[in-house]
Amino acid sequence: MATKEPPLFRDIDRVLIDREAIAARVRAMGAEVAADLQRAIDRHHDPADAQVVLIPILTGALVFTADLIRQMPMMLCLRVVAVSSYPGRSMASKGAKIAGELPQDLAGKHVVIVDDILDTGQTLAVVKRLIQEQGPASVRICVLLRKPESCRKERIDADYSGFDIPDEFVVGYGLDYDGFYRNYPQIAVLRAAATSALESRA
Ligand code: XMP
Q: Is the CB of 117 under 6 A from ligand 1?
A: yes
- Per-residue pLDDT of 167-181, as tens digits, reads 999 999 999 999 999
Q: Is the CB of 169 under 6 A from ligand 1?
A: yes
Burial of 70 (0-12, 13-18, 19+ CB in 10 A): exposed
Look up residue 81 and give its amino acid: V
Ligand 1 atom closest to the CA of 95, numbered from 1 = 3
Query: Could you give the dihedral angle defined by the CA atoms of residues 170, 118, 42 and 30, in that order, rounded to the nearest 10 degrees?
Result: 10
As a whole number, mean pLDDT of residues 38-58 equals: 92
- Per-residue pLDDT of 140-169, as tens digits, reads 999 999 999 999 999 999 999 999 999 999
Residue 4 has pLDDT above 60, yes or no: yes
| CA neighbor of 36 nearest in space, from 194, 160, 147, 191 | 160
Dist CA 82 CA 112 (whole Å): 15
Nearest CA to ligand 1 atom 12: 175
Which backbone phi and psi does 40 adopt, to 5 degrees? -65, -40
Dist CA 135 CA 169 (whole Å): 35
- Per-residue pLDDT of 64-78, as tens digits, reads 999 999 999 999 999
Q: Give the pLDDT band of residue 92 (cuts 50, 70, 90).
A: low
**pLDDT score recorded for residue 2:** 58
Mind listing the domains of the chain with CATH numbers? 7-27+49-200 (3.40.50.2020)
Nearest CA to ligand 1 atom 23: 117
Nearest CA to ligand 1 atom 22: 60
Note every long-range contact of 152-155, with CB atoms under 8 Å and residues 24 or more positions apart, other chains counting: 152/120, 152/121, 153/93, 153/120, 153/121, 153/122, 154/120, 154/121, 154/122, 154/124, 154/125, 155/121, 155/125
**For residue 106, how many other CB atoms are within 10 A of its CB?**
22
Which backbone phi and psi does 74 adopt, to 5 degrees? -155, 165
Q: Is the CB of 165 under 6 A from ligand 1?
A: no
User: Rounded to the nearest whole angstrom, what is the distance from the C-alpha of residue 176 to the centroid of ligand 1?
Assistant: 9
User: What are residue 163's DSSP bridge partners?
Assistant: 145
Dist CA 194 CA 190 (whole Å): 7
Nearest CA to ligand 1 atom 2: 120
Residues designated as active site: 119
Q: Are 94 and 87 in contact (CB under 8 A)?
A: yes
Look up residue 170 and give its amino acid: V
Dist CA 86 CA 60 (whole Å): 12
Q: Is the CB of 93 under 6 A from ligand 1?
A: yes
Q: Is the CB of 122 under 6 A from ligand 1?
A: yes
